[in-house]
Structure 1
Amino acid sequence: MPGRFFSAVANKTSGLERFEAWTRDYAPLPGIPDEFIDPDGLSRPHWRRMLSALAEYEPNEIQQSFATADRRIRNRGLSYRVAGEKDERVWPISRMPLLLTEEEWRGIATGVAQRAELMERVLADVYGEGYLIAEGALPLPALTGSKDYIAEMRGVKPPGGRWLRLYAVDIGRGPDGSWWALSDRAQAPSGCGYALENRLVVSQAFPDLYAQLNVERLAPFFRSLSAGLKSSGQRAEPRISILTPGPLSLTYFEQAYLARYLGFLLVEGEDLVMRDGRIFVRTIAGLKQCDVIWRHIDADWCDPLELNASSRIGVPGLLEAIRNGGVAVENMPGAGLIESRALLAFLPVLARRLLDQDLLIPNIATWWCGQSRERERVLDEFDKISIAAAFGDELPGLNGQSSVIAAEMQANERERLRDSIAVRGIDYVGQDIVRLSTTPRWMQGKLEPRPFVLRVYCAATTDGWRVMPGGFCRISDRADARAVAMGDGVESADVWVLAENPVEVSSLLPSPESARITRLLGNLPSRAADSLFWFGRYLERAEATLRVVRCLSARSVDPDTPMQLGRQSLDRLMGVLVGWGAVDPTTLAKGAAAASEQGLRSAANYGSALSLAHSARDAASVIRERLTHQTWALIGRLEVALKPARERRPSAGEIVDLADEALTTIAALSGLFDENFNRGAGWVFYEMGRCLERGANTCRLLRQFAAHDATEHSLGVMLDLIDSQITYRSRYLVGMALAPVRDMALLDPFNPRSVAFQVNRIDEGISTLPILRRDGMLEEPRRLTTLLRAQLTAERAELVDDARILTVEQELLALANAIAGRYFLQGAGQGRAEKITGFE
């Protein structure tokens, strides 16, 4: 800080000039409240303080900090997905945070907590005694018209007496500058994990600025949220799972990040099973009781037995387990009811009835057209208001739009909409037109006002509601925006609540007396084990393909290669690539160069190095919460290294360089796993996947290049492919011979590339895994590895023939199937590791 102080004094004039340059042309939109400029046209003090402090940075320092933020986002794999798109997008973070004073935040927090309590009481009554409906305070169709009303939850007593554990509300400033609620979120409120990531990225990019402004910390909120979830469990140390739709979820990164940050299990529906009124997690050690589920899938999809029968992401029997008190689900199925716009019309009256208070943060004026008087009002004022879906996000017959401004519609569309409201008003609401307030957005070196929406989170704890000091802010790139959703041109901003005094540093660390030491966990979900296993296999397949491609390219232009023998080896190398699905058979006629390029980076061929890198990434995405940011960055780097960078065909030398770069990245990934991945069950499955694939591939290569008719040249190719040339030449002085090469590739327990070495590692790994049988008999995977290890140990290289090599390969593939059958999730009717081994 002293260095920064003296720099600020020395550059005071330049800092003022920068401040003026940023803000000189800043002009709020007519009639729209702005965060930077107050109603009198003056800049607000807390914004001046932040911008003045930022202006003391030299321009190159600011750009470096921005670049640091962008780099952290890429390295951390921070991403999201837009509906309808397969590929993830890089998270778009705003250069400017949204600033709020501590005094203003107290008002927001109080209003949000009040609104959360109102929603809790509404849900408790609707699914409980039903007084609001019986006494006419809430029309029944205003509830049952929503698909989020879950009749099966009537009469259920929620764990801990609460229907809501995490509530969120989108807010914006009204025309008078006060805060208004735009929409309520209770189904599975998203964004709090992204808000935390925004904070980490921005605070690390500008640490001095962050500390200087006394920004409220977020960790206490997440500590309270975690404690609240734990309190709803029935045991002192409950097992808490985050239920995700899977890697194709729009916010999968957030779900994985929260699981890693809070130490919860990330599970999909198939990971869970209902038994005897309780929910269990399928793990490699059998069924383990799941006490609390933090639900991130819509309620309609969470139980195919009682709700949407087409769901493949839910848990059959989940509602029965909830009714039996066998699991706590947060938020409860049915809580999404409060998101319907129809309910907004009744909240002001409900607040006075249930809380004896007026809403501190009122929602925009809403009229539900299911009531005749309100419907007539909407039709009378049709050109002055907006029309929105009463239930869900789509207006009937309007191509997925959630709301429209009637005055801006075509005449024929307007008439059709009026007729629809008159015939079936229950599906529509009329609302005051929302024009969002603005906040500064950094655009091309200066600030411009842009509309924003702020989502604020409130967690139920044993001490009442606790509001996150900040939130999830979305800023549009358009000056006139009436809705802001994460998509093209929208950025997410960190939200800084500026305390008046220095803020105490806080974290999620437990107190020393409450921390229980654990070294190994036996609760690895079967799906996670499966994904780690296949991540290892795909990574090894990619490495093997790269080695073949590199060898093919290098030897195709080697002037010392004997013509006839070299041609035979090249043909066999290309044949391997065809057999592995890396190269089309029709490409062989084009020669080694075309085959090498296709095997390296063809997106169309499932066995190319690029396709295998994609497959490895897909497998890793399922266990994203278990991977470090550095691991994820290297996976992304591997794909980048293999993607075509230009149209022209690379030369043989360039292909060798590309293959070497990709192999170096894989080596870095392997090293990262070796050094940083805990040697628990997860590591064992990753290692077994790599060893099985390497062993099987080595057998295939032996049958091609070290068969009974092998030549000196083909044996040299074999040693190249298993990276053992140097070891062989230092060990044998007689030149290439069949038996020594076979021994080195198949039987040598000291060669990390040999089949025997892989089998030994697999056997050692399986011996550490939990067992389900207690009768002293070996389970099938252990039996097969014990037998194969003994056979390879006793085998003599000079007696090995081609048939024996093929048998070893088949035994390795049988072992892979045995591992999958014992530890991984299988199809309906097949065996599963479903023995209940206890409730620890």
Structure 2
Amino acid sequence: MNLSDAIDDMRDPAAAERLSSMIERYQPLPGIPDEFIGADGKPRDMWMRYLNALTNLGSEEIGRRFAAADRHIRDTGVFYRSYGEAKERIWPLSHLPLLIEAREWRGIARGVGQRAELLERIVADVYGEGRLISAGDLPAAAVVGSPDFLHPLHGVSPPGGKFLQFLAVDLGRGPDGRWWVLGDRAQAPSGAGYALANRLVLSRAFPALYRDMNVERLAPFFHDFRVGLSTLADRSDPRICLWTPGPLNETYFEQAYLARYLGFILVEGGDLTMRDGKIHIRTIAGLKRADVLWRRIDGDYADPIELNSQSRLGVAGLVESVREGGVVLANALGSGVLESPAILSFMPKLCRKILGEDLLIPNIATWWCGQRAERAQVLQRLDELAVAGAYGNPVLRFPQNQPVVAGLLSAEERARLVGFIEERGVDYVGQEVVNLSTTPVWIEDRLTPRPFVLRVYAARTKDGWSVMPGGFCRISDRADARAVSMGSGVQSADVWVLDEKPVEMVTLLPTNDTARIRRLMGNLPSRAADNLFWLGRYLERVEATLRLVRCLAGRMVNTDAETGAAGLTVSKVVSLIVSWHAAPKSKARDLLTLCAIALHGEDEYGSALCLMRDARRAASFIRERLSSDTWKLIDDLDRSLGAARKPVRSEVEASEQADAALRVIAAISGLAQENMNRGAGWRLFDIGRRVERAINSSRFARMFAGPAAPFDDLEVLLELVDSQITYRSRYLMGVELNTVRDMVMLDPFNPRSVAFQVDRLDEHLEGLPVLSDDGMLEKPRRQVVKLRAEVTTAVAADLDAERLLQLEKQLLDLADSIASRYFLQGPHNARADRWTGLA
């Protein structure tokens, strides 16, 4: 059946017309295999089933579903970074999946499983007995020449004796229609989290289509992987961590996403320390043992003592802990040597040598130029080959890991390349030029073929290697692409493996009555506690700045605002805005410009925009601990305040913009109060908010509640602490100094007062874990107990400027003590008492 016949067979004329317009111009590239159109020139049945179901939805509904998918990606903050960039990019999801029949996928799974076992045997021999090198099957230079070969790990066998727990294989379909291996990823394979995110987005956008196409689920694969990691530890209830390079890593989102999905603790190198041969996490409850680390950092950066001394990502003493069997690493340090293109050239021979069989999925033909005959062959065929670095090193002026098609070079560059290969051939490999097959993508309401690379994942389980029924597909925006990486213009597609029969719904959530009940997430890492605390503080600072701007804008409406007592009050508000570095002093007389800068200024670190960006940065470090609704609000407020530095044309507009931002802040606070689990994380977040609010309220009182404070000052103070309605419902005689002081500073029933904040701080600190069970109060708790007693027994009439300043300093000291005790600095680095145990 050709395309025309397939369309004519459709019963719905409208749907047939939509399908015709969608595919009428679809032309596979000459000589290139295509996933939609078979070698016989006919559309594949699975694609016609999919497209028929899609077109039956109607054009408007298809557009609505695609828009919903894009909106979900944006709202949940799915992002990536290009290498070397700090800017976050919205994840570029293709609206169409890559379809593969289960029968074909079973062949892929067998080939990837075979390759995983082969790679395990190779790396075990390289760091073990070295029989392959001694027998001449694998040249020593091809191994030790790689920067990923870690000499300190030679002779070290990992716990359980297995080096690889999780790996990936990049595949492309060759001109003959067969799948070919383009490269292996054994160091720290990326993309699995994005594959999960892709699946979630498309299955939600097209639930019926996803179900009716019998798409195989991903959850069983991840469940088996998680169980496999658990069995490697020497404890029945191990603590498994996902070790990330940090929030600035290109794929940080997927690392946080995977940690949340699998229930792992997301840690950075600074969260970890080696004690007594074991690795521990620094938590607010002291040091807690980490049994398994699923690492996403390169092996060379894992230990600054024995490996790369310049690394700030690693853990001092990690290699020693590995030697002593104190921690399980997935994958083992040094496994990155398997990714070298130099090793790729020996895979066919090694497979026959080690497994006694040919590769089920061959890799692209590769010749390592460290051997005389192979070097001569590469130089002889140079114009028809691609040249790549043998160990990931760059070739000529081209970026790292990017092959160079020698036939496209200038005569001068070609001559230089020949000289490099002749002088030091060990650094280069020659490879057949890869022409990637194509898959349909949706461009301007019709299908267009684009080249793609498929990354397939394998995980070690208690029953052997398991291959994910799906993967991570990268699609180029260029029809002639020879390689695909996640750069500008590249899309990612979900991979649907289509079974012949309905697929059972599977989830990682436990479904039997024997599942262990947990009500808390466990010990909170100090890094996460730090960022939760500062997220709360930054949000409170944003709110304080917004209230100042709204207060100033409201008084600008009054024509007498700049004269008499009212003018002095306005000058105090301006003075606060300037002293907080929300706006420059040079704009103090231009009140409208002052308001605009305080709202949207990018050069003043105290502006609402800059503070919100600080809050968003803190939130991005703990993305796995925030709900999607919370993240969406934070992202919305950040974009709203920074939207082209909004013009502020009037005091009314300034007030309205501040009002809108304050409503979002209130929504974030509401979500935190209603949706966050009442564990240590919520307590640290609320502690940050409470301590910052108490500091700001004390500062406001010191400015506007001094002796003989005028009516306007007291009105402003009540407005800034959001207590006007409470005050007027309680006092009928109008504002008076001592009653205002009492409500703002000492009233334990006013949720905006300093006394209320101190009470909550005491409750939170009492609920946090201690390092020692000796019955003694830790420093932050001692300070807050003393402060609570002073505030409880204080009298409003005695709260002069000196006393208010003293309270403000006590609150600042309390914030410092909290940081020293619970975060990555100061006394928390000390080892927890023996009684607490390094559990």
CA contact (8 A) 2:560 2:567 kept: no
Match of 2:829 among 814, 829, 832: 832
Paired residues in the alignment total 830
SS in 2 for 1:767: helix
Quick one: distance in 2 between partners of 1:99 and 1:562?
Answer: 69
8 Å Cα contact 2:832-2:838 kept in structure 1: no
> For residue 483 of structure 1, what is the aligned residue in structure 2?
483
Q: CA deviation at 1:773?
A: 2.6
Alignment partners' CA distance in 1, 2:649 and 2:635: 22
Query: Does structure 2 retain, via aligned residues, the 8 Å contact 1:284–1:522?
Result: no
User: Paired residue for 2:42?
Assistant: 42
Aligned position for 2:371: 371
Q: Distance in 1 between matches of 2:343 and 2:250?
A: 26
- Give the partner amino acid of 2:811: L
| C-alpha displacement of 1:709 | 4.0
Label 1:647 to 1:73 Cα distance change in 2 as closer, same or farther (>3 A). closer
Code of the aligned partner of 2:179 = W
- In structure 1, what residue type is equivalent to 2:182? L
> Which letter maps to 1:606?
Y
Distance 2:666 2:513 in 1: 41
Number of the residue aligned with 1:55: 55
Q: Are the counterparts in 2 of residues 545 and 599 from structure 1 also a CA contact under 8 Å?
A: yes
Q: Aligned AA for 2:592?
A: A
| TM-superposed deviation, 1:155 | 1.5
Alignment-derived partner of residue 606 in structure 2: 607
User: Could you say which residue in structure 1 is the equivalent of 2:259?
Assistant: 259
Deviation per CA, 1:627-684, whole angstroms, max 9, x where unpaired? 1111110000111221244674431111111111110001000000111101111111
Query: Does 2:584 match 1:584?
Result: yes
Residues 472-509 of structure 1: CA deviation (Å, up to 9, x unaligned): 00111111001111111111000000000000111112
1:315 aligns with 2:315: yes
Superposed CA offset, 1:713-768 (max 9, x none): 11101111111111111211222211111101100001111111000000000001
- Within a 5 Å distance, the mapping from 1:792-803 to structure 2 comes to 792-803=791-802
Matched residue type, 2:167: Y
**Match in the other structure for 2:656:** 657
Match of 2:745 in 1: 746
Say if 1:821 and 1:832, in contact at 8 Å, map to a contact too.
no
Q: CA deviation at 1:800?
A: 1.6
CA distance in 2 between counterparts of 1:188 and 1:287 reads 26
Indicate the SS of the match to 1:452: strand
Compute the displacement of 1:776 (Å): 2.1
The letter of the residue matching 2:418 is R
Query: How many angstroms apart in 2 are the aligned matches of 1:666 and 1:11?
Result: 53
After superposition, the CA RMSD in angstroms is 1.5
1-structure distance, mates of 2:541, 2:611: 7
Contact 2:239 2:289 in 1 (8 A): yes
Aligned to 1:321, what secondary structure does the other structure show? helix
Amino acid across the alignment from 2:304: P
Q: Which amino acid aligns with 2:251?
A: T
CA distance in structure 2 between the aligned counterparts of 1:720 and 1:618, rounded to whole angstroms: 29
Please list, as runs of the form range in 1=range in 2, the aligned pairs for 1:753-772 lying within 5 A after superposition: 753-772=752-771
C-alpha deviation, 1:239, in angstroms? 0.1
Structure 1 residues 365 and 172 mapped into 2: Cα distance closer, same or farther (>3 Å)? same
Shift of 1:115: 0.6
* Residue aligning to 2:3: none
User: Superposition pairs for residues 410-429 of structure 1, below 5 Å?
Assistant: 410-429=410-429
- C-alpha offsets along residues 44-82 of structure 1, whole Å, 9 cap, x if unaligned? 111111111111111110001001101110111111111
Aligned residue in 2 for 1:292? 292
Partner of 1:235: 235
5+ residue gaps, structure 1: 1-8
Q: Specify the code of the residue in structure 2 equivalent to 1:680.
A: G
Q: Is the 8 A contact 1:160 1:231 kept in 2?
A: no
Q: Write the mapping of 1:331-370 to structure 2, written as runs, cut at 5 A.
A: 331-370=331-370
CA contact (8 A) 2:562 2:568 kept: no
One-letter amino acid of the structure 2 residue matched with residue 796 of structure 1: V
Tell me the residue number matched to 1:435. Answer: 435
Distance 1:533 1:237 in 2: 29
**Matched residues, percent identical?**
56
Write out aligned runs for 1:469-508 (5 A): 469-508=469-508
Q: What is the rounded CA distance, in whole Å, between the counterparts of 1:400 and 1:104 in structure 2?
A: 33
Aligned equivalent of 1:536: 536
Give the aligned partner of residue 182 of structure 1.
182
- 2:402 aligned with 1:380: no
CA distance in 1, matches of 2:413, 2:123: 37
- Using the TM superposition, name which of 708-717 and 99-108 deviates more: 708-717
CA distance in structure 1 between the aligned counterparts of 2:200 and 2:226, rounded to whole angstroms: 19
* Partners of 2:645 and 2:114 in 1: CA distance: 58
The 5-angstrom pairing of residues 203-218 of structure 1 reads 203-218=203-218
In the alignment, is the contact (CA less than 8 A) between 1:456 and 1:468 conserved in 2? Answer: yes
Q: Which amino acid aligns with 1:797?
A: A
> For residues 562 and 33 of structure 1, do their structure 2 counterparts lie closer, same or farther at Cα, with a shift above 3 Å needed?
closer
Deviates more, 1:435-444 or 1:510-519: 510-519
- What SS is found at the alignment partner of 2:287? strand
One-letter code aligned to 1:746:
M
Query: Relative to structure 1, is the Cα distance of residues 226 and 302 closer, same or farther in structure 2, using a 3 angstrom cutoff?
Result: same
CA contact (8 A) 1:35 1:440 kept: yes
Deviates most, 46-55 or 563-572: 563-572
Q: Which residue identity does 1:787 align to in structure 2?
A: K
Residue 673 of structure 2 is matched in structure 1 by 674
Q: Which residue of 1 aligns with 2:4?
A: none
The Cα of 1:820 is off from its aligned counterpart by 0.9
Q: What displacement does 1:117 show?
A: 0.6
Partner of 1:700: 699
What SS is found at the alignment partner of 1:512? coil
What are the ranges of 5 or more consecutive residues in structure 2 without an aligned counterpart? Answer: 1-8
Tell me if structure 1 keeps the 8 A contact 2:601–2:645: no
Match of 1:68 in 2: 68
CA drift at 1:400: 4.1
Tell me if the contact between 2:47 and 2:99 (Cα under 8 Å) persists in the aligned partners: yes
- Match runs of 1:70-149 below 5 Å: 70-149=70-149
For residue 306 of structure 1, report the CA deviation from its aligned partner: 0.6
Aligned to 1:712: 711
Cα shift readout 1:547-604 (whole Å, capped 9, x = no counterpart) = 0011011111124758312211111111101111111111113x21111111111011
TM-score by length of 1: 0.97
Please give the alpha-carbon distance, in whole angstroms, between the structure 1 residues aligned to 2:295 and 2:837: 24
**2: CA distance, partners of 1:473 / 1:811:** 56
1:121-157 CA deviation, whole Å, 9 max, x = no partner? Answer: 0011111111000110000010011111111111112
C-alpha contact 2:560 2:566 (8 A) present in aligned 1 = no
